A and B are shown apart, each in its own frame.
Chain A
Amino acid sequence: MATLFVPTPLRRLTGGASKVEVQGDNIGALLQALDQQYPGVNERLLDGDGNVKRFINIFVNDDEIGSLQGLNTPVSDSDKVSIVPAMAGGAIV
């Protein structure tokens, strides 16, 4: 199973877990499995057409899936998958 790094804003959906083990041959399948394990996650990650939202990046190891095969990017057991949303935290300007 691949290791998925859960960004802080999504951890309330994963019971606080920052890393979860998920099964899936590719990113799309992995996200489906994730959503079954933690219902509601996909709604936060994917838009109505099933694409990754444009303020979220998903990485397999070091590489963004847009530079690979998108949601069809294959995932193997030793891979680390990171979900990186835009964050704005800082000063009120």
Chain B
Amino acid sequence: MSRLNRDQLVALAKSQIIEWSPQELKQHLDAGEKLTVVDIRERDEFVQGHLPSSTFIPRGHLELQIEQHQQDREAPVVIYCAGGVRSALAARNLQEMGYENVISLIGGFNGWKNAGYDFKIPTVLTEDQRIRYSRHTILSELGEAGQIKLLESKVLLIGAGGLGSPAAIYLAAAGVGTLGIVDFDTVDVSNLQRQILHGNKDVGRPKVESARDRIHDMNPDVKVIGHMEPITSANALDIIKDYDIVLNGSDNFPTRYLVNDACQFLGKPLVDASIFMFEGQVTVYDPNDANSPCYRCLYPDPPPPGEVPSCAEGGVLGVLPGIVGSLQAVEAIKMLAGIGEPLIGRLLMIDTLDMSFRTLKVRKNPECPVCGEHPTVTELIDYEQFCGLPSSVAHPNGQTTERELVLA
């Protein structure tokens, strides 16, 4: 074997491969050619900026991972490094694997940048985040890109109670970057049997505050926005509009119709769930899916007050919202990351007494007053009145009192 020094090895490599100048690469890309462009630099170099359509495979992983991105040995593969030396050497290794059209970029990323062409500075996980979310990023369905989507997402929770607690905790742990919480209630001892966001020390505190503390303790990445007010027709659109997805965990029908209608008007997916005693229901209404029903498609009219008992009357197994709220979190994460099949058009019925999970088909109602073909409800209405309750409009502070009357 002949002895080569560094320069001789590079010269040999360059004689055996194809090299393109940045201008040539640009022309090929502009012509719309399908090129696999691979950035083989180290991570800290890649995050400073890279070619717009490039895939990041550090040099040490190139041969091991290239087939995941391009299996076709005849397809052109462009590789680049910082200055064109490492990529020339790496190109030979791909040729050994049978890749026939490996091109090394002359001058590498610096050459590209100096030619004045566009490059992208990626959003990447910090060192801490890479460790924190490593069990996520290793899932090929999520990966680092999926985790970044979660970090950039905003989810609104209606209620920090039984359902909102586990949902908030898992969404926060999963790294959903912004969690809004609508709740004007304070923590009561009787909540602690199921509302795992709050603890003994929080009794008497506003739920949004104890929720914020608990969430920050779990994951400082998460920004918590507290909306400490009842959600009403006057503020619902304003509150919901800045979020990507809404999780409903409210305990009363006026709020359920209100949140449904507001989500429909704003085009926000709604992960809806309710619980009673040992039984739960979960489904997703997505106004962006033409076939998705909404809450009103399932339940065109509310039950008359008092006809359907509340949890305060009937009771609820403390673990039940833990299951159901966690399922809401799963659905939210799936939709935010764009993976799997959301629970749209399907109503999941859970009975924890016989431990049965059944999925029923639910359909869009073409005559639905909100999402149907000829909508008759096109703005938020008085939902207390719609549900046969005394309207709270005239009594800004009357809402809790009236709700309590209904529950009693």
Mark A residues whose CB is within 8 Å of B.
5, 7-9, 18-19, 44, 53-55, 57, 59, 62-64, 66-67, 82, 84-93
Contacts and interface: CB of A to CB of B under 8 A. Distances in A.
A9 B349 contact: no
A20 to B, nearest CB: 13
B131 interface: no
Contact of B316 (A7, A62, A89): A89
Q: Which of A55, A59, A82, A93 has the most CB of B within 10 A?
A: A93
**Interface size grouping (class) on chain B:** 35 or more
Interface string B32-68: 0000000000000000000000000000000000000
Interface of B: 158-164, 182-185, 195, 230-231, 248-253, 255-256, 273-279, 281, 298-303, 307-311, 314, 316, 321, 347, 349, 351, 353-354, 358-363, 365, 400, 403
B208 to A, nearest CB: 11
Given A9-B308, A18-B351, A92-B252, A82 B358 contact: yes
Contact of B161 (A18, A53, A62, A91): A91
Contact of B162 (A57, A84, A90): A90
Contacts of B248: 90
B250 A91 contact: yes
B249 A54 contact: no
Given A88-B253, A90-B164, 5 more contacts: A18-B353, A54-B301, A84-B349, A87-B276, A92-B185
Contacts of B164: 90-91
A55 B311 contact: no
Given A8-B278, A87-B274, A91-B185, A62 B361 contact: yes
8 contacts: A7-B279, A53-B303, A54-B299, A62-B360, A62-B361, A89-B314, A91-B160, A93-B250
